[in-house]
Structure 1
């Protein structure tokens, strides 16, 4: 009886030791996962909002990543703040303040389209907090340039019409201008909001912070014609410090048309 008891005690002791080891291993794995966890800050383009990243956010969060997808002032869930007083600096501050107040560090900054303007400006302030960037079919302005010099013909016409009426924002185009995912058109059309007019004429002030980011990727979606994106893609492709991609099976809104592919690219290059 005592032998059985002693064996049971030894087994129990061994189990406790093994259990402790398993717990330690579990803690170690948890720490490793925490160390491997990445932070992404996704910046939308004109007429859009944080909502456009929903599919990508869901995918990345399911993979254990931390993701921010804010809406810039005057758009989407912040469309009630649309006014003539908004400037490019407002959107730059939206991004830099997010980094500062949420103490974001070692992040991958991912601007889409117009988002390349405020993201470029924000990097002048928060470049030391960003370890990688993925420019998604986005503007890559040079010092002193204005977005009004590069906007599409539709946006230019809408801007002139809105300014003539004294309106603070210009009407958005239909979803079909951005996406090939027809099943998402109704959802997108219900979300697209006016783009602030007053931000287009502000020259951007840059000193080259963007080029100092260690890991840089540019993605071009050629189904969306935009000479400024073609210029940026060509410059990045010729620069060995950049990785470049061309995505043929998507329109401009790659985050909506090809979310899984995009999430994979973000994980790979962050």
Structure 2
């Protein structure tokens, strides 16, 4: 997935399938501080392309055992909601998935967590529910500008008439420490509604107005759009930035303990 023969479809698939060991020595103090936190917090977890709430289960279990409220999402048309896949699903649909959960559950003082593609609908949802969100954590997530689409940012081709882009058929050999994890992920991924990739997001700056913001970059997974997001966050002192140089893209699966501690500190 890193070599010169990589296809655009593999790149998109890699946004969710590329994970490795996750340790960040430089963030040890950041993580140690998280362990000391005991107040109940509320987390809303947004998955990336081809994934569903299942991708967050290991982190969800750990947060709930510590007494926190956790709402892992499956976006419309994917995973346990794959039976709803249809041509009318757009980015607005996924934005509404997030906003409706928060509004109907009467959630407030939320830590909104987005992985990969999830940065698009999460950014859009903040335009509606930003006043309910006290912190955000972008986990190797895209950070779109107003009027940008996932399709435009990654530059891949969406075939005419395709309602759901098929997930990758394989993952990188170094994607997971445990081959069972790789097999599990491949068995769970479902086609992603292409309409969500084509619609530009409408933003007015709500994401940047969130008081506490953390960006996690996993550079073992190479992607220019993620490097751009990292650069923007480094240049903005309102963001806390962590670079994990040993992990692949899906750190919530490979190292849930590490990510759980980071989320507690970043919330």
TM-score interval (norm. to shorter): 0.7 to 0.9
Structure 2 CA distance for partners of 1:244 and 1:174, relative to 1, 3 Å: farther
Corresponding position of 1:239: 236
SS of residue matched to 2:196? coil
Q: Which has the larger radius of gyration?
A: 1
The answer to whether residue 176 in structure 2 is matched with residue 180 in structure 1 is yes
The structure where helix makes up a greater share of residues is: 1
Q: Which runs of 4+ in 1 moved over 6 A?
A: none
Post-superposition shift, 1:173? 1.1
1:216 aligned residue: 213
Residue aligning to 1:65: 68
Match for residue 223 of structure 2 among 223, 226, 236 = 226
Q: Equivalents in 2 of 1:151, 1:50: separation in Å?
A: 24
Task: Tell me if the contact between 1:92 and 1:118 (Cα under 8 Å) persists in the aligned partners.
Answer: yes
Task: Show the 5 A alignment for 1:120-131.
Answer: 120-131=123-134
SS at match of 2:171: helix
**Partner deviation per Cα, 1:98-138 (whole Å, 9 max, x = no partner):** 00000010010000000000000000000000000000000
CA RMSD in angstroms comes to: 1.5
Alpha-carbon shift at residue 180 of structure 1 (Å): 2.2
How much has 1:175 moved relative to structure 2?
A: 5.5
Which residue is equivalent to 2:50? 47
Q: Which structure is richer in relative contact order (CA contacts within 8 A, separation 6 or more)?
A: 2
Which residues of 2 match residues 1-270 of structure 1 at below 5 A?
Answer: 36-151=39-154, 156=156, 159-160=158-159, 163=160, 166-174=161-169, 176-177=171-172, 179-181=175-177, 182-270=179-267
118-127 vs 225-234, greater mean Cα deviation: 225-234
User: What TM-score comes out, normalization by structure 2 length?
Assistant: 0.82
* TM-score (ref. length: structure 1): 0.81
Shift of 1:174: 3.9
Is there any run of 5+ residues in structure 1 with no aligned partner, and where?
1-34
Offset at residue 260 of structure 1 (A): 0.5
Cα distance, 1:203 vs structure 2: 1.2
Aligned residues: 228
Deviations 1:170-199 (A, max 9, x none): 110146259323330111111000011112
